Amino acid sequence: MFFVAAKVFWLLAQPLSITLLLLLVGLALLWTARLRLAATALLLAAIVLGTTGFTTLGYVLIQPLEDRFARPAEMPETAGAIIMLGGATLARPSSARQTVEMNDAGDRLSATLWLAGRYPEAKIILSGGSGLLSGETESEAVTAARFFTSFGIASDRLVLEGDSRNTDENVALSRDFLDDAAGPVFLVTSAFHMPRSVGLFAAQDLDIVPWPTDFRSPGPVGFWFDIANPVQNISVSTVAIKEWIGLAIYHWTGRIGALVPGP
């Protein structure tokens, strides 16, 4: 129920959805000659679209999350396991074409592949089910396994956890696979997603080695106009807003101890 509610909420709450809803409300008000209210709705739509698409808002929001965790200064000599959280592939084309189509978080796959080569004895836990409400695609774990075996990673090193649908379930369902891990456990996920993920693992009394990847921000940046790439700006703003909402909900419901977990 939480999964469905979260998906429906975000379908309506993301910036482009809010913009569209405000535009529809504005047009409806124009149709009924309520001009002042219509102008207000249309102005709000322009503000939402303008700030998320034509300013640095997304980078301002995502940068502190990405800077929260750093990769280890010194690499451990051994590793017991490498966990890669799902979210790096496009489910529909990957399933339909039996290939591996990456999205903006595809660095999770390449980073995990590098760690797998660095620690050839470590098992690789691929955590990710289908994030779609319809559930018509294969799990992300199956798609990711196709990626790693194509690069020569032995299939017996791969542990597929293909039932989780969100970060909370990623951690809960991966927990049992770590009981016999002989050595440090690496966690690979997007840098902006690392605080919430580490917070959930900490709640399970698991000590992990963060390996953030897929950075979206160039570093500290102030709020200003940015018209170079509005599509990318909207994408980063959407990801950042969603992650901050996720952190707030997970903290409010007691899933993580701090609003923004740290080292």
Domains along the sequence of the chain with CATH? 2-66+229-252 (no CATH), 81-213 (3.40.50.620)
Helix, strand counts (H, E) of the chain? 10, 5
156: exposed, middle or buried (C-beta count within 10 Å: 0-12, 13-18, 19+)? exposed
Query: In this predicted structure, what is the pLDDT of residue 1?
Result: 61
Q: In which residue ranges of the chain is pLDDT below 50?
A: none
Spatial distance between the Cα atoms of 80 and 1, rounded to a whole number of angstroms:
34
Spatial distance between the Cα atoms of 243 and 74, rounded to a whole number of angstroms:
29
Query: In this predicted structure, what is the pLDDT of residue 137?
Result: 84
pLDDT digits (tens, 9 = 90+) for 202-242: 998 888 999 999 999 998 899 999 999 999 999 999 999 99
Query: In this predicted structure, what is the pLDDT of residue 106?
Result: 96
Considering the entire predicted model, what is its pTM?
0.92
